Amino acid sequence: MRIVINEKDLPGRLEELFFPVQLRLLYWEEEPPLMGPVHVKECDPAFFGVLDVDKSRIFAAVTQGYLLITNQVAYNFGCEIAQILFHTESKDDIKCIHAELSSNRAVCQIDLRSKLDIGQPLMNEGWCFFMRVINSYNKTKKLEYIVGFFNVAHGYGFLDNTIAISANTAHYNQFRSYQMDIWKQIKEKEHVIKQLELTFLSKISTLKQLLISKESILPMFCKVFGIKKTNINSPQHQSLIDTKNYIEKQATDLTQQYGQNAYALLNVFAEYEYKYDTNSLRFLLRQDQFKLGKWVDDLIVNSKAADFSLYNYIGKEAYDAAEWLRTL
């Protein structure tokens, strides 16, 4: 089972993510003869195993030049980056608001934001910047720092694809070289980062003017997350029902708060993506690939077309899936 640590439990449990990991030589056993001892031989010395020391388990085999960056190093460097992006004076001004560790302990993500949000323009809408640190020991995720927006009032956030800072650690043999590359990327994206808040405020304004009924939120959810009528089968049946009930309740609550518009829809989806445990639905939903920021941009661009139709944008298949969900 994956580990999820919420803000109220941090920083006391952050150390759970910083377990020891090492590079170790790999060995293999020869096919044993009918009689006699088993011979253990060293594998090619150009390859190493990424070892979970506590569990005595190999995450992945890597080449000799592989740069192993631990979760703790990734987190510490993330705090340095956050200081620059959030314009704070020290690491003490950065707080951890959410953390996750996959069930096999191979993939880690840590969300950081500034403690000093009062001066940020987005605070007028309840939003502030946050940054997600993503690291893995099994080569499924490269070390990445992604900026997003966090709703302080409600405790959820989403990522913005325009600010993703990363480099392939396989191309470095020293962490200092990796750091220099990251700082170079931040310098190159400095203008985009400065404009990010104003751009998001403009998007909020556009979303508030785009009318979307409460009844259309579930069909839109089916479209974005790829839910179809054929998705149903045994262990996921109840999970689909629970998810449908969750979305419908949030749609009612948040349209009452923000009105029946796309901004309420954004908040429904952001809360779902950030808070709702979809472990039992992960093979059904495109949760890992889903980028809420990218979808928001797509909706805004399409809505500006003269012949824009919300029904056509969502599509009959998604509406049918929503009606089917409501019968479960």
Give the integer Cα–Cα distance in Å for 83 and 61.
Answer: 34
**Secondary structure of residue 163 in the 3-state scheme:** strand
Q: Which of 272, 268, 259, 267 is nearest to 211 (CA)?
A: 259
Give the count of alpha carbons within 13 A of 50, CB side only.
19
Give the integer Cα–Cα distance in Å for 278 and 86.
Answer: 31
Residue 122 and residue 189 share a domain: yes
How many H-runs (helices) and E-runs (strands) does the chain carry?
Answer: 9, 11
pLDDT score at 120:
61
* 151 or 236, which is more confident: 151
Q: Is the dihedral of CA 186, 188, 191, 196 positive or negative?
A: negative
Residue 91 and residue 48 share a domain: no
Q: List, in sequence order, every residue forming a beta bridge with 150; answer none if it has no partner.
A: 128, 157
Mean of pLDDT values over 309-325: 95
Residue 162 and residue 25 share a domain: no
Residue 114 binned pLDDT confidence (cut-offs 50, 70, 90):
confident
Residue 68 pLDDT > 90 = yes
Mean of pLDDT values over 264-284: 70
When mean pLDDT is compared across 128-142, 144-158, 159-173, 175-189, the lowest value belongs to 159-173
User: Do residues 196 and 87 touch, judged by C-beta distance below 8 A?
Assistant: no
pLDDT score at 40:
60
CA angle 313, 148, 135 (to 5 degrees): 110
Residue 249 and residue 199 share a domain: no
Mean of pLDDT values over 155-179: 77
pLDDT score at 280:
46
Model confidence pLDDT, tens digit, residues 211-225:
999 999 999 999 888
Residue 208 pLDDT > 60 = yes
Q: Two tokens at 111?
A: 């969300």
Strands (E), the chain: 3-6, 21-25, 27-29, 40-42, 47-52, 57-63, 94-101, 107-114, 127-136, 144-151, 156-166
Residue 173 and residue 93 share a domain: yes
Query: What range defines the domain where residue 147 resides?
Result: 3-16+67-204
* Number of domains forming the structure of the chain: 3
Residue 198 and residue 81 share a domain: yes
Residue 228 and residue 167 share a domain: no
Residue 144 and residue 284 share a domain: no
Residue 226 and residue 168 share a domain: no
Give me the chain's average pLDDT, please: 84
Q: Which of 32, 28, 66 is nearest to 47 (CA)?
A: 66
pLDDT score at 282:
44
What does pTM read for this prediction? 0.82
Residue 46 and residue 11 share a domain: no
Of 146, 170, 204, the one marking the end of a domain is 204
Residue 81 and residue 25 share a domain: no
Residue 89 pLDDT > 80 = yes
Range ranked top by mean pLDDT from 113-117, 306-310, 323-327? 306-310
Residue 230 and residue 307 share a domain: yes
